[in-house]
């Protein structure tokens, strides 16, 4: 007799493990299949995010920022250090410990909530069955009333720069450099490229970022993006826009990268290490058996509706493997939504208010619509900005780069977008997201009391500036 479950989740990343826990909390007999294996052969839960993505990259970002601060900024505070050095092996060991703590923490949460954890591969079969292939190669068929696919995504490879052991790497390999490369190349100036480039630049690498697009951070509000580009140039990140990589040649411990620059001229540059960070794609290899009824869209993602239902009743898909931004928090909320839908609850995601964050320093974050999107739609809007250079708290902590930008509807004053580059940008944007979730106006934010001195006051002032009422900067005169 096949094992029977109310819910079988395939994948234990932020979308999958959250879906499994919530389903179990709601009284459903739940199993979660995960193939990820640690070096000791044991199962590693948490998917890309916890093992080789969000968490380890933030650990290295934090460590490298502390080193850079000690190296460049402590003197401003009257603090002197002699013989400052970085021990990369200790840094990596700290990162690995954090990863281990969190992945074992998910295992503990599964146990506490009664989720059955299955080590191996999952494949969706016809008739809402799941084939579970174990680590020893044997397989077992599970009966499932409901299936939640949460297999995530993998880095995109490009033909001009095939990955090689330690020399040309993807985002996973970039987290494992055992020493600081002198010359580091990064292909792609997106979130991953900027974060990983920042880590190694802070530790002493000469970093060149090659980006095919001519616009920098085209997904972000362009006023914020232009400010970010200025900041990164000051940090000596050499970001070259409009550059299309055409080939590479490995020369022992070096790699020569050939590319066409923004004028269409052929160029080449030599690196000691090269990171390929051109994006990610949905992971569906070996997932769907013929006849299972689950279909893919034109991007190779699993086709779902607004509530993550596939074309087969009772089969859902969430996270990076479906449409929308590939963000851990988006996947987690989809997992919760689906678990609640299965139990008959009313549940819905607000896809208009998914915050995005780039964890460089300063951070870059946004939620809602950009000014460019509003211009393109013809929607009348108004804007308020406030620079951190006018913030007392930012000045006290030597964090004065950047600004807060609030975009509101011209007629109703309802907040349409909040965009930040600067200290605690992710936290400030989350404040904006909370306000927007409740349909707040810029006047509502302006009427709230913000504690002083805080960087949050910059959000308050930007909201006031929407109608020319900012206190701590000179307001722009409105055009007549």
Catalytic residues: 452
Secondary structure of residue 66 in the 3-state scheme: helix
Please identify which residue in the block is written with the tokens 């919530």.
22
Give how far Cα 169 sits from Cα of 151, 158, 244, 413, 430, Å. Answer: 22, 11, 18, 47, 33
Q: Is 33 exposed, middle or buried (0-12, 13-18, 19+ CB in 10 A)?
A: buried
Asked if residue 13 lies in contact with residue 334, where contact means CB atoms within 8 angstroms, the answer is: no
Token pair recorded at residue 265: 């001229």
> Phi, psi at residue 257, to the nearest 5°?
-105, 130
Q: In a 3-state reduction of DSSP, which class is residue 209?
A: strand
CB 337, CB 307: distance < 8 Å? yes
Coil/strand/helix, residue 234: helix
Closest CA to 197 of 184, 213, 210, 179: 184
Q: Please tell me the distance from the alpha carbon of residue 406 to that of residue 368, in angstroms, as a whole number.
A: 10
Q: Is residue 182 packed enough to be buried (19+ CB in 10 Å), middle (13-18) or exposed (0-12)?
A: exposed
Cα 276 from Cα 278, distance rounded (Å): 6
Distance separating alpha carbons of residues 72 and 237, to the nearest angstrom = 16
Residues 6 or more apart whose Cβ sits within 8 Å of residue 157: 163, 170, 276
- Tokens at 50, concatenated: 């916890």
The dihedral of CA 426, 427, 430, 431: what is its sign?
Answer: negative
Distance of CA 422 to the CA centre of its chain: 17
Helix, coil or strand: residue 226: helix
Tokens of 383: 């804007």
CB 436 within 8 A of CB 445: no
């Amino acid at each position: 007799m096949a094992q029977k479950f109310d819910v079988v989740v395939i994948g234990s990343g932020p979308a999958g493990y959250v879906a499994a826990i919530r389903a179990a909390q709601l009284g459903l007999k739940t199993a979660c299949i995960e193939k990820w294996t640690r070096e000791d052969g044991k199962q590693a839960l948490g998917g890309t995010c916890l093992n080789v993505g969000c968490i380890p990259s933030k650990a290295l970002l934090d460590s490298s920022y502390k080193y850079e601060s000690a190296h460049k900024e402590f003197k401003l505070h009257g603090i002197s250090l002699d013989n400052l050095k970085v021990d990369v092996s200790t840094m990596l060991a700290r990162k690995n410990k954090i990863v281990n703590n969190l992945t074992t923490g998910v295992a503990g949460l599964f146990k506490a909530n009664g989720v059955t954890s299955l080590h191996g591969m999952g494949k969706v079969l016809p008739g809402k069955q799941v084939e579970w292939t174990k680590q020893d190669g044997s397989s077992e068929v599970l009966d499932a009333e409901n299936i939640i696919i949460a297999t995530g995504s993998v880095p995109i490879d490009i033909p001009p720069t095939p990955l090689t052991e330690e020399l040309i790497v993807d985002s996973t390999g970039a987290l494992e450099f055992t020493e600081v490369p002198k010359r580091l190349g990064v292909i792609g100036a997106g979130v991953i490229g900027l974060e990983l480039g920042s880590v190694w630049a802070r530790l002493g690498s000469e970093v060149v970022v090659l980006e095919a697009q001519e616009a920098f951070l085209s997904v972000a509000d362009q006023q914020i993006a232009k400010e970010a580009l200025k900041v990164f140039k000051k940090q000596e990140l050499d970001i070259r826009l409009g550059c299309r990589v055409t080939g590479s040649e490995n020369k022992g411990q070096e790699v020569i990268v050939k590319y066409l620059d923004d004028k269409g001229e052929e160029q080449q540059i030599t690196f000691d290490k090269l990171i390929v960070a051109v994006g990610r794609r949905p992971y569906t290899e070996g997932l769907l058996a013929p006849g299972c009824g689950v279909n893919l869209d034109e991007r190779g993602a699993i086709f779902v509706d607004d509530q993550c239902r596939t074309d087969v009743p009772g089969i859902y898909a969430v996270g990076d493997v479906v449409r929308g931004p590939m963000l851990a928090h988006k996947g987690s909320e989809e997992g919760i939504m689906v678990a609640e839908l299965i139990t008959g609850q009313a549940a819905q995601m607000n896809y208009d208010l998914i915050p995005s964050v780039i964890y460089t320093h300063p951070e870059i974050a946004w939620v809602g619509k950009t000014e460019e999107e509003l211009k393109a739609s013809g929607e009348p809007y108004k804007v308020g900005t406030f620079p951190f250079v006018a913030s007392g708290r930012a000045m006290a902590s030597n964090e004065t780069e950047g600004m807060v930008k609030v975009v509101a509807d011209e007629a109703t004053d309802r907040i349409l977008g909040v965009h930040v580059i600067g200290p605690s940008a992710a936290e400030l944007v989350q404040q904006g997201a909370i306000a927007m979730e409740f349909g707040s106006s810029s006047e509502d934010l302006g009427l709230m009391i913000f504690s002083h001195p805080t960087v949050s006051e910059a959000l308050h002032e930007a909201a006031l500036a929407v109608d020319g009422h900012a206190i701590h900067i000179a307001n722009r005169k409105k055009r007549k």
